[in-house]
A and B are shown apart, each in its own frame.
Chain A
Amino acid sequence: AQKVTQAQTEISVVEKEDVTLDCVYETRDTTYYLFWYKQPPSGELVFLIRRNSFDEQNEISGRYSWNFQKSTSSFNFTITASQVVDSAVYFCALSEPARQNTDKLIFGTGTRLQVFP
């Protein structure tokens, strides 16, 4: 079973539209961390946010916001007023530090976001 599911393979929007990228995770641990990374066309992985399982407060950073809901095991990412520069593949990831001693990241399959002018 997938531990991190990003059901949306590809999303296309027009600039200034809001877009939400879904992430559903699966873990039996009570302590875990969730992450979002951005992979622009140039290929690097850019860290966006980390959330621990005990902090369900939503977070906003400029046009980016994240909605963490333990009840539905989801950690969704919303971009408000999208811009062409937001075009990238976005990965959600999970780490289970109690289960492993390494903090390895378990990635979802990614959502490719294309923002058209």
Chain B
Amino acid sequence: EPEVTQTPSHQVTQMGQEVILRCVPISNHLYFYWYRQILGQKVEFLVSFYNNEISEKSEIFDDQFSVERPDGSNFTLKIRSTKLEDSAMYFCASMLLRNQPQHFGDGTRLSIL
């Protein structure tokens, strides 16, 4: 069964450094998402992406965050200057059509030191 793939599974970065989290969505899916989950808390929406542009972003997704789908297969989340509070599990999800289930990757655990 096709699945969403995220790399790396764990990223450790110094505060202030840039980090790029990578995702390969399911190949024929059209809608892409990033969510984050701070340890022990609920999953929170960050951003949605469709037709090569952001369709919605949350308050969390400030100027330090950006997303890109550079080559038609990868979907990346970049944090320009990481802060301690960016430490979380980041999930990528993709969806074939509107109102269908979103399929999640296994997540990238980001630890900021």
Q: Which residues of A contact B (CB under 8 A)?
A: 33, 35, 37, 42-47, 50, 52, 91, 93, 95, 97, 100-110
Contacts and interface: CB of A to CB of B under 8 A. Distances in A.
Contact of A102 (B50, B100, B101): B50
A42 B48 CA distance: 25
A35 B101 CA distance: 8
A104 B43 contact: no
Given A102-B48, A105-B35, 19 more contacts: A33-B99, A37-B104, A43-B106, A44-B106, A47-B101, A47-B102, A47-B104, A91-B42, A91-B43, A97-B99, A102-B50, A103-B31, A103-B48, A103-B95, A103-B98, A103-B99, A105-B45, A105-B102, A107-B43
- Of A45, A47, A100, chain B has the most CB atoms within 10 Å of the CB of A45
A100 B56 CA distance: 8
Interface residues of B, number: 27
A35 B55 CA distance: 21
Contacts, number: 62
State the 6 A-B residue pairs at the shortest beta-carbon distance, nearest first. Answer: A102-B48, A45-B104, A102-B56, A44-B106, A107-B43, A104-B45
Nearest to B54: A102
- Of B35, B93, B98, B99, chain A has the most CB atoms within 10 Å of the CB of B99
A110 B39 CA distance: 12
Contact of A52 (B43, B50, B89, B99): B99
B99 A104 contact: no
B97 to A, nearest CB: 9
Contacts of A91: 42-43
Nearest to B89: A43
A103 B102 contact: yes
Nearest to A100: B56
A101 to B, nearest CB: 6
A106 B45 contact: yes
Interface string B30-60: 0101010000011111001010000110000
